[in-house]
Every structure is written in structure tokens, then in C-alpha cells.
Structure 1
Amino acid sequence: MIGIKHSLELIVNPFFIIFCFILASAIVLKMNKSLPKVRRLLWVLIIFFMAFCTGWIPRYLTERLEANYSVVQFPDPKVKWVVVLGGGHHERENLPANDLLSGASIKRLIEGVRLLKDLPQAKLLLSGGGDDSRFTEAALLKQLSQWFFISQERIVLEPHSLNTEAQARALESLVHQEPFYLVTSAIHMPRAMFLCKRQGLAPIPAPSDFTFFWYDHDQAKMFIPNIYNLYYSNIVLHELLGRAWAQLTFKTTNAH
């Protein structure tokens, strides 16, 4: 099932779809010289290209996902767990944790530390595995958290999960049904909340790492196609596909 999901993610990708339209146009032109068919394919390509390479659609979809939950301003002192989901890392020797962790992971950790400062009785649970057991994301997050002088007794690691669904399953045996602050990127939060609730957990959303690409003085990026809009389109489509896949597998499992 995971293999099917990853294959779909590769296919439902703006870069791949644009490539397919270009390839199909070239094949049609080569095979039968049918200019009307090529013309139609090229128009579809242009429309798709403009939709995802300008800012309107990626910004709208990103805002829809990130507007679901607000930043936690006043943490509830009764909450005993702050859970930080890893957002990506690299595995390489002789580099510090801040170079190996993705920007998303670092922002998530900082938000988790911010919440922890107002929750003196809470523990910080860092979740994320890796292909190499020497470089699990949870371990790298722990290394970086030491820069903030957090007591080691307050840190719990979950170093085995490789995706959000596995993280939700792993949390079940650690936090049980206790409420916890769930820290992840704002665009990722709806899917993470769905998967945690599906496991019977009690997450409290604590979003971080918001997208600000379209909110500066340079409004030309909304109208002029650029690679950054395509990049953010890919991120939002990944989240939408991941949520759809989670709902589909949930319904399929319940049906059986």
C-alpha cells in the first residue's frame, strides 16, 4: 500500500504532468503529424502550466490548509506532552544537527521548545526515524534541543517512524489517550490531526512553519510563472493527496 501511495505522489506532481503533456505532444506530432491534436495538447499544457506556475492556485490551496488551526498563544498547563513531528533531514557524517535537519524540522522544534517553556511539567516527544539508525531525525532533533538547555529527563524519542501515518501509530503507545500539543508545519497539520485522531489520540494542534512566500512587496510572483510557485504547488498537492489516501485507506479498512 505504501508503494502505491508513493507511486501516486510521483505521478500527481506538476513537474511530471507537464513533462507528460510535452512528451505526448511530441509523440503525436512524430506519429501522425496531426497538428490539431498537438495544438489541443499544447493548450492543455499551457493552461496547466499557468495554473500551477503562477501564484493563484497554490496560494489559495495553501491558505485553505494553513487556516484550519491557529498558533497556540497560551499553553494549557494541564497538558503533559509536546510532540514534535520531524519534517525531513539528511544523513551525513561530521555535520551538526542544524545542517542536517530541514528548515521545517528546525521551525517545528523551536515551536515545541517555546511551548515547553510554559509547561514545566510537560515532556518533549521528538518523532522521526531514518534509513540509517545513526542519523534518525529524532536523535538530530534531540541534539539541537540541547542548545536550548532542556533537561534530558524531559525528552522522549520516537526514532522509528518514516512517515506521518507511522508517527501517529507510534504515538499511541507513548502518550496513550492523554492530550498533547501536536507540533508540525501549518500546511501539514490537517493531515497529521486526521491521522492522530484516527488512532484514537487526543492531539491539540500547535501549527508552525507557515508559508509567507506570497506576502511581501513583490506581487509579480502572483502573475509571472516561476519555479517557486511550482514548488509550492507540489507541496500542497502532496498534502491533499496524502489526506485523500489516508481517508481512502481508513474507509477501506472499516469496510472490511
Structure 2
Amino acid sequence: MKFLLDLLFRVLQLFAEPYFLLFLAVVIIALLKRKNKRKNLRIGIGVLVVLMIIFIGNGFLGKLISGYLQKSYVNTSEMKNAAGQNPVIVVLGGGVVDINNTEKLHTMSFSRIVTAYQLYHEFKKNNIPCKIIISGKGKGHTSEAELFSENFKKMGVSDFDIIKEDKSMNTYQNAKFSSPIVKKMAPTSVYLVTSGFHMKRSVALFQTFGLKPIPQASDFINTEITIFPNSYNAAFTFVMLKEILGIWQVQIYNNLGMNG
């Protein structure tokens, strides 16, 4: 059952890829033309593709999805007052890029570093012990957790306060592998730091593994309503569409008892 659902969602993920959608439309039109049938259907598909490009490229769809994914996490700074005596900050990796055989953190990672450090600094300033758990292996030779750790140390975070979870390859594993570490520490509060568009799915997965994290969104994305479609709007819209599919997958698996 889980294998079939995994396969289904992998297929659905393809429909959040612009090149796949364009390829699919071209193939369908070509097949219909080859059989010299259904001219109206070919025209309809062509019109549908054009409308989809406009609808996605002009930012309207992205604007709607952006609000759904992120609006709950815009004003979360006041939650820091609920720290208690031993808060834990869980930071999710944001990817690694390889430039000239040198591995560097993805640009999105640095907003997460800054947000986590601001929390950490505020707690330490008030003499509240605090730990940072960095979750992420990534696909490079050096783990995301290690690269995050190097940056935190340069900012003045004590090595004693840094815990590296360097096995996870995706958000599901972030939650699965980080949760036992957090539970052993028995913190009064757990802060989850990741990007705004990624937060809803991340919170749902951490809740699946028995935690109730306080969301601290580090960055936000949005589209701009434009007269003419542009690649900026399209790129962010497709990123958020994939996130929607991920949220549905978590919800369905939870309802069927297949997560965990």
C-alpha cells in the first residue's frame, strides 16, 4: 500500500514540473494530429497550455498558494517569550551547492542560520541555556549539519551548544531522526527554524513524531502580479505547488497510520 502511494505521489510531483507539463501537452497534440482526429481537442489543449502559462507566470496562482503556506508564520517573534529554562532550537538544512569542487551552503540556508542565531543569542543574553540541533546530511561529501556548525561557531555559538544530526536526506527524515534527540533532552520548548513555505509540512511531520514545535520562519517567498508572465513567478509557483503535494502526502499518510 505504501509503495503504491509513494509511486502515486512521485507521479503527481511530475505535474509540478513545467517541462513535464509542456512535454505532455506536445505529446498529446502530436498523437492526436498523427491520427488526424479531434482537431477541436488539439486546439483546446493548446489553449489550456497557454492559459496555464499565463495563470502561473503572472503570479496569481503563486500569490494564493503563498498565503496558504506562509501567512500563519509571519508574526511569530513574540513566541520567544515561551522559552522556559532549556529551549532547543532545531534548524533544518537548506541544501548544499558545489562551486568549483567547493561545497557551500545554499543561499536559503543563511536566513535559517541568522534566525536560529537570533533566538540563541536572545536566550543566552538572558542566561537561559539553549541548544541548537542542526538537521541535514545533504547530497555532498560534507554534511549540511557540518557546514551549518562551522558558520554558527564563527558567529560565536559554543561548540558545546551545537548538536549535529547528519543522517537525514529529506524533511521526513529531519523529523524522524531529530525527534529522539530532542525527546532525550526533555526541553520545555522546541523551536523549529526553516523557510516559511516549508514550515507547514515540517511542523506536521515533527508533530507526527510526537513533538509540538514553535515555528520560526526564517524567510518567505511570494510572486508578483504582472501583466506578462515571467520565469520568476513560474519558478516560485512550481516550488510551492510541490510543497502543497508534500503536505497532502503527510496528511494522507498520517490518516492511514503510515508515517512514523
- TM-score, scaled relative to structure 1: 0.87
Distance in 1 of aligned mates of 2:149 and 2:65: 33
Structure 1: which amino acid aligns with 2:135?
Answer: S
Q: Quote the offset at 1:252 in angstroms.
A: 1.9
Distance in 1 of aligned mates of 2:19 and 2:43: 20
Q: Quote the offset at 1:206 in angstroms.
A: 0.5
Distance in 2 of aligned mates of 1:40 and 1:138: 49
**Given the alignment, which residue of 75, 79, 99 partners 2:80?**
75
Matched with 2:35 is: 31
**Given the alignment, which residue of 123, 146, 168 partners 2:131?**
123
Matched with 1:180 is: 190
2:239 is aligned with 1:241: no
Matched with 2:178 is: 171
Matched with 2:25 is: 21
Q: Quote the offset at 1:10 in angstroms.
A: 2.5
**Given the alignment, which residue of 66, 73, 76 partners 2:70?**
66
Matched with 1:191 is: 201
Aligned 8 A contact 1:55 1:229 in 2: yes
CA RMSD of aligned residues (A): 2.2
Q: Deviations over 1:102-146 (max 9, x none)?
A: 1211111111011100112101111101344x3111111111212
**Given the alignment, which residue of 219, 227, 237 partners 2:231?**
227
The number of aligned residues is 245
Distance in 1 of aligned mates of 2:156 and 2:100: 24
Aligned 8 A contact 2:66 2:222 in 1: no
Distance in 2 of aligned mates of 1:93 and 1:146: 25
2:118 is aligned with 1:114: yes
Q: Quote the offset at 1:22 in angstroms.
A: 2.5
Q: Quote the offset at 1:91 in angstroms.
A: 4.7
Question: Bigger CA drift: 3-12 or 78-87?
Answer: 3-12
Structure 1: which amino acid aligns with 2:131?
Answer: K
Distance in 2 of aligned mates of 1:252 and 1:185: 28
**Given the alignment, which residue of 45, 51, 54 partners 1:50?**
54
Matched with 1:158 is: 165
Change beyond 3 A, Cα 1:254–1:128: closer
Structure 1: which amino acid aligns with 2:235?
Answer: Y
Q: Quote the offset at 1:163 in angstroms.
A: 0.8
Tell me, which stretches of 5 or more residues in structure 2 are unaligned? none
Structure 2: which amino acid aligns with 1:80?
Answer: P
Structure 2: which amino acid aligns with 1:16?
Answer: F
Aligned 8 A contact 2:62 2:223 in 1: no
Question: Bigger CA drift: 8-17 or 144-153?
Answer: 8-17
Distance in 2 of aligned mates of 1:7 and 1:33: 28
Q: Deviations over 1:138-168 (max 9, x none)?
A: 1111112122021110111000001111111
**Given the alignment, which residue of 102, 109, 118 partners 2:106?**
102
